[in-house]
Amino acid sequence: MLTIQVKTRLLNLIPAAALLAACGGGGGGGFSAPAGGGSGTAPPSWVQGQFSPSSSFAAMCMTPRTGVDPITQQTYPDRTGNALDEKNWLRSWTNELYLWFGEVTDQDPAGFAGDAAYFDVLKTTAITASGKDKDRFHFTYPTATWESLSQSGVQAGYGASFVIVAAVPPRNVVIAYTEPGSPATTAPASLARGAQILTVDGVDLVNANDQASIDTLNAGLTPKTLGESHTFSVMDLGATAPRTVTLVSANITETPVQNVTTLATANGLVGYMLFNDHIATAESELVAAFTQLKSAGVTDLVLDIRYNGGGYLDIASEVAYMIAGPVPTTGKTFELDQFNSKYPTTNPVTQSALTPLGFHNTTQGFDMSIPAGQALPSLNLPRVLILTTAGTCSASESIINGLQGVNIEVIEIGATTCGKPYGFYPADNCGVTYFSIQFQGVNAKDFGNYPDGFTPHNTVTTEGVPLPGCSVADDFSHSLADPAEALLGAALAYRTAGSCPVPSGVAPVTPLQAGGHAAADGLVIKPFWRQNRLYRPPSTP
């Protein structure tokens, strides 16, 4: 099995089950450990501001793993150590690689009850211009689980992507989109965009207040294993009465590119596509989509990435090239990673010289159905209309930023994107994988400062980098690709007249609240492996 090298931009790594909250919102719930409270005396070797190399503590574990990692097929490096060794590794590793290492208060690791509590304070406490934490994506995950998800891409589900319109009472959860041929779309379920979830396994979505009821709701909306059966009361779009649907979780084959079509207008043919994830199988689907639109002779493109949380940055580069074509992109930087001040010219993780990622003009071999090195089609457009929400993150934002770097006009229709200009290499130590911000990506103009996202210019309160376009709220009363759907309709109108409807977009949401809950309003529930920026090592076929 492939070993994937992973870079993840400000990743929302909480379990999906943390997404719904009881009355009062995002406090408590046991998702994060207290910041301190441990006992013990600082060892003689600990001096504030002085750090041993992280390698001297690496893989020194309280409970060493033995044998071979079933995913990587490599022998575990673990050796016998103790809790302080594990925390000392975190301290030194953070000082070496954390992007804002100078903003971390150096605290005695012996004063913390466990690794999770100590890791939680190894980050900056600065805030962005909009008042959000500058580093609000600082997480851990069990290594075995992370490896399984990042390698296989398999996730139990129904094939219906739920969007949490409101996470606290009065809650509102609807279906954003579905996967063709999945349990959700197969009769008798036959679910479609806009269907509202009323109850889950008998628990009323709006009125549930106790933790047991919340747990039931989350368990049904985010099944963890295959073969789980859950019963939903749903109100279909346009229906006058609810119906009961039973769904059984299965391995879902995702179709990341959907609804590729052309729209005839008075001033030219417009292409449209829904692009939901930068995963490996997207490569062949994107090539087919752009080939289809090129053959049709479209003069404009509406790229719908409102639910796209990211994925392979190489695929984002391919998409940007297929929009812009060779003239503005040849020899230009799509994205360059910048690390902390200790490494001005070197990637400290790979120990290689910093080299920009260009605009790929050939396939990279992600998908076995299409060979590497095949020339990519291109629309050669001077502008693109992009549909966004707060769920537009990571590699999706890199498309926006990368195109702007080579003077392709980006018109944004929808809501402010999530704001992930940073990234990190997840690191395993003693069976836990840590995610700590280590780099910032910049475009050909050396710009990458969008921690509050990109914002359509007429948004009432601009929190992110303003772009031409319109603030429009997601419209679940119409199918995607329907010209009457609010975001697509606004894009077509802006293209013709340059005017916007009254601003209705949703302001950016903070992806993390106290206690580790997601402030999920307006966000599609997605597992975190579908919100990563992934890089494959050069040796990977």
| pLDDT on residue 107 | 95
Q: Quote the pLDDT of residue 423.
A: 83
The residue type found at 333 is T
Chain-centroid distance of CA 231 in Å reads 28
- Measured CA to CA, the distance from residue 87 to residue 409 in angstroms comes to 47
Cα separation values, 70 from 58, 392, 528, Å: 21, 33, 21
- Please name which of 516, 481, 417, 527 lies closest in space to residue 145, comparing C-alpha atoms: 527
Coil, strand or helix: which one is 222?
Answer: coil
pTM: 0.84
Domain with CATH 3.90.226.10 in the chain: 257-424+439-508
> CA 427 to CA 244: how far, in whole Å?
44
pLDDT at residue 253, as a whole number:
83
Report residue 57 as tokens: 């503590």
Q: Where in the chain is the domain with CATH 2.30.42.10?
A: 156-251
Question: How many CB atoms neighbour CB 242 within 10 A?
Answer: 16
Find out whether 403 and 429 touch, Cβ atoms under 8 Å: no
Could you give phi then psi for residue 352, rounded to 5 degrees?
A: -115, 160
Handedness of CA 405, 406, 409, 410 (dihedral sign): negative
pLDDT computed for residue 188 by the predictor: 97
The two tokens of residue 467 are 């772009």
Buried b vs exposed e over 114-139: b needs ≥16 C-beta within 10 Å?
ebebbbbbbbbeeebebebbbbbbbb
Among 196, 204, 187, CA closest to 242: 196
Q: Radius of gyration over alpha carbons of the chain, in Å?
A: 23
Beta strand spans in 375-482 (E): 383-388, 409-414, 422-423, 427-429, 432-435, 439-442, 454-456, 465-467, 469-471
Instruction: Give the Cα separation of 72 and 157 in Å (integer).
Output: 25
400: left (phi over 0), alpha (psi -120 to 50) or beta: alpha
Q: What is the pLDDT tens value at each position of the chain, 541 positions in all? A: 233 333 332 222 223 333 444 333 222 222 222 233 333 334 447 899 999 999 999 999 999 999 999 877 899 999 999 999 999 999 999 999 999 999 999 999 999 998 999 999 999 999 988 888 899 888 888 998 877 766 555 578 999 999 988 888 889 999 999 999 999 999 999 999 999 999 999 999 998 888 999 999 999 999 988 999 999 999 999 999 999 999 999 988 889 999 999 999 999 999 999 999 988 889 999 999 999 999 999 999 999 999 999 888 899 999 999 999 999 999 999 999 999 999 999 999 889 999 999 999 999 998 888 999 999 999 999 999 999 998 999 899 999 999 999 999 999 999 999 898 888 888 999 999 998 999 999 999 999 999 999 999 999 877 899 999 999 999 999 999 999 999 999 999 999 999 999 988 764 443 333 222 233 446 787 765 555 555 553 443 3
Start-to-end CA span in the chain (Å): 11
Count of residues making up the chain: 541
Evaluate whether 249 touches 156 at the Cβ level (below 8 Å): yes
What is the C-alpha to C-alpha distance for residues 486 and 425, in angstroms, rounded to an integer? 38
For 156-251, the fitting CATH number among 2.30.42.10, 3.30.429.10, 1.20.140.10, 3.40.50.720 is 2.30.42.10
| CATH code for the domain defined by 257-424+439-508 | 3.90.226.10
